[in-house]
Chains A and B, each alone.
Chain A
Amino acid sequence: MLDTGYIYLTVDELCAGALVHLVSGVDQECGLACAVGATATAITGYTEWVSQGEPILTLGWDWQMYVDGDAVCLQRVGPPSSNLMLQSPARRDLGHARTIALLNDYVDGFDWQHATLGHINARYG
């Protein structure tokens, strides 16, 4: 049988651990053009987060930048990519689609925007 390469966690186990920011970037095909005169909503990019310890959980997703009043904000676009297969408390695999749905909720439930914006500003500012 082939090794799946997945890390198996329950939702509670996922939520009990903390992810740390690895790297973020602006999509380069839009970066310069968007930075010169285009609207801020045209700026998109990616962000990558990892767990600490071994094996490493990896989670990454795309974002879009928008302006809300005076604030520059980021929102997730598209599903997260990972090496994670979520399981029920009884240790049954929840499957790809359910894992993605739960990861959507997980990402939207923590403040990744602050670290991502800080990294983007430091990298491109």
Chain B
Amino acid sequence: MVIAGSPKVLTHDIYRKVGQYRQRVFIETLGWDLQTRDGMELDQFDRPDTLYMVSQDDHGAVNGCARLLPTHQPYLLGEVFPELMNGQPVPCSPDVWELSRFAAVDFNARGGSALAQFSSGIAVQLLRQAIACAAQHGARRLITVSPIGIERLLRHTGVHAHRAGPPMIIDGHPIFACWIDVDDAG
């Protein structure tokens, strides 16, 4: 089950679970150097108006999440990674939204790998619903800052996407900015 909404809609309990899940995925599993608050991975872009996608299993455990931000407000690529745009200006428009903190690691699934997250059924469902949610809020395109592994998920999902520029190597891993078309995402 995937639910979407601002922190107020998600309820405090789910919002906290998302923060804890992100800490487990991005900091403890992937080793990213990110800030934490009270056992949750949260940054300056986790605001009252931020939209979240949350996937939960049958027992209510979070097994996927994503974050949506309109680019006419402060957002990750625009504030932290503008160099990923290959010399082009960063997007700044209410019809371009950023997808970030995408994860689909099911810690309760046997045989799963945190690093194989982009090939899971949860990931496909989460991505489709994130695109649909962004479209409902006026997005015509998404821009995302992600590991290049997300391209496999985009192809698997049948979403048309292309790179905004070359990857940057951060902690040995290629990170890049990617355009995702909303109109033909189906």
Binding site for B on A (CB under 8 A): 2-6, 22-23, 25, 27-29, 46, 48, 50, 54-58, 60, 62, 78-79, 81-83, 85, 96
- Chain A residues contacting B96 (CB-CB under 8 Å) are 2
Question: Closest chain A residue to B114 by CB distance?
Answer: A29
Q: List 13 A-B contacts (CB under 8 A).
A: A2-B95, A2-B96, A2-B141, A5-B86, A29-B115, A55-B165, A57-B166, A60-B148, A79-B155, A81-B148, A82-B162, A83-B86, A83-B166
Q: Tell me, in angstroms, the Cα distance from A69 to B87 when the chains sit together.
A: 46
Known: A2-B96, A22-B174. 14 other contacts (CB 8 A): A2-B95, A3-B88, A3-B91, A4-B179, A5-B86, A5-B164, A5-B165, A25-B173, A29-B115, A48-B166, A55-B165, A78-B152, A81-B151, A83-B165
Nearest chain B CB to A14 CB, angstrom units: 15
Nearest chain A CB to B123 CB, angstrom units: 13
Q: Tell me, in angstroms, the Cα distance from A81 to B166 when the chains sit together.
A: 10
Q: Could you say which of B91, B148, B166 contacts A50, with CB atoms under 8 Å apart?
A: B166
Are B165 and A56 closer than 8 Å at their CB atoms? yes
Known contacts being A58-B163, A83-B164, is A29 close to B113, with CB within 8 Å?
A: yes
- Chain A residues contacting B176 (CB-CB under 8 Å) are 58
Known contacts being A60-B148, A81-B151, is A22 close to B166, with CB within 8 Å?
A: yes
Are A96 and B166 closer than 8 Å at their CB atoms? no
Known contacts being A2-B141, A23-B169, A81-B151, is A55 close to B163, with CB within 8 Å?
A: no
Are B167 and A60 closer than 8 Å at their CB atoms? yes
Question: Closest chain B residue to A99 by CB distance?
Answer: B162
Are A58 and B88 closer than 8 Å at their CB atoms? no
Does B116 count as interface, using CB distance less than 8 angstroms?
yes
User: Interface centre among B87, B140, B148, B173, by most A CB within 10 Å?
Assistant: B148
